[in-house]
Amino acid sequence: MTTTPYEVAVRAEAELGEGPTWDAAAGRLLWIDILGCRVHTYDPVTGRRTVRRTEQHVGAVKPRAGGGLVLNLRDGIGLLDPDGTFRWLHHEPVPGRRANDAAVAPDGALWAGTMRYDEAPGGGTLSRVTGDGTVGLVLDDVAVSNGTGWSPDGRLLYYIDSPTRRVDVFDYADGRASGRRTLAEIEDGAGFPDGLTVDADGCVWVALWQGSAVRRYTPEGRLDRVIELPVPLVTACAFGGAGLSDLYITTARTGLTEPAALAGSVFVVPEAGKGLAQPAFAG
């Protein structure tokens, strides 16, 4: 097991930085501040950054196949057209509940998670949303729906419900998940698993909330690499850059009485590995 150095990609003070996603068509990183109601972009070549404010808490943002963005918002799934026009694809407000992490499946569907603000067990869900707005409930007994990703061959789905302290794996076929089992467990004192990404070797990289680190697990569930960071609330990770070799890592500062100077920033580990090209949302 090796420890890997990092760099600061974007110095920021995001309250709850989350959801890094490489937008290959635009050559930029997308990321969000959930509680700050902001969608950020970052171009690592030019250094250009943009910020767009959302009208409510935003759990995830992903590129759309035809241009624009899909947003996992507090009250449902929204679409931003390339000209900036917003519209709802699926509107389903639930008092006390908000959106959280999401991922796009190999078939272009959005797997969108939710959670209650009080993180009550069973208060969250994981749903599959197709491009035409059809919603199918996948899991209805979730506390904090988080990291979701697929193996390189698309036959396995990895998933995290953070309070379980597990990274779970399902068999995946035809838009359905089955055979849930445990890939890895996070030991007491090491934090809680949050966002994840899968690399071209099928290894699963897991951000550790309250754990100051990102870990990589092999397809067999063996821990073989650790990236230690100078902030406790590490939220998510994703490969980006022209060669998908740089690992971007988001962090948070919410609830910290004396946050470190870099809490809420985006970190990067250059040449960390080889990521997988991510499909765009089909809507």
* C-alpha distances in Å from residue 56, one per residue of 37, 99, 146: 6, 10, 19
Cβ atoms of residues 36 and 57 within 8 Å: no
Per-residue pLDDT of the chain (283 residues; tens, 9 = 90+): 556 789 999 999 999 999 999 999 999 999 999 999 999 999 999 999 999 999 999 999 999 999 999 999 999 999 999 999 999 999 999 999 999 999 999 999 999 999 999 999 999 999 999 999 999 999 999 999 999 999 999 999 999 999 999 999 999 999 999 999 999 999 999 999 999 999 999 999 999 999 999 999 999 999 999 999 999 999 999 999 999 999 999 999 999 999 999 999 999 999 999 999 999 999 9
Closest to 14 (Cα-Cα) out of 209, 252, 270: 252
**In the Cβ-directed half-sphere of 279, how many Cα atoms lie within 13 Å?**
19
pLDDT of residue 80: 97
pLDDT computed for residue 4 by the predictor = 74
pLDDT of res. 82: 95
CA torsion sign for 193, 228, 9, 12 is positive
For residues 99 and 41, what is the distance between their CA atoms, to the nearest angstrom? Answer: 20
Note the pLDDT of residue 60. 98
- Spatial neighbors of 64 by CB under 8 A, at least 6 apart, are 70, 79, 280, 281, 282, 283
C-alpha dihedral sign at 269, 273, 274, 280: negative
> In 10 A of CB 205, how many CB atoms?
27
Q: Is the pTM of this model over 0.95?
A: yes
Burial 176-187 (b: 16+ CB within 10 A, else e): ebeeeeebbebe
Angle at 8 between CA 56 and CA 43, to 5 degrees: 65
Length of the chain: 283
- Residue 5 is predicted with a pLDDT of 85
Active-site amino acid positions: 194
Task: At 187, list the tokens.
Answer: 């030991």
d(CA 207, CA 204): 10
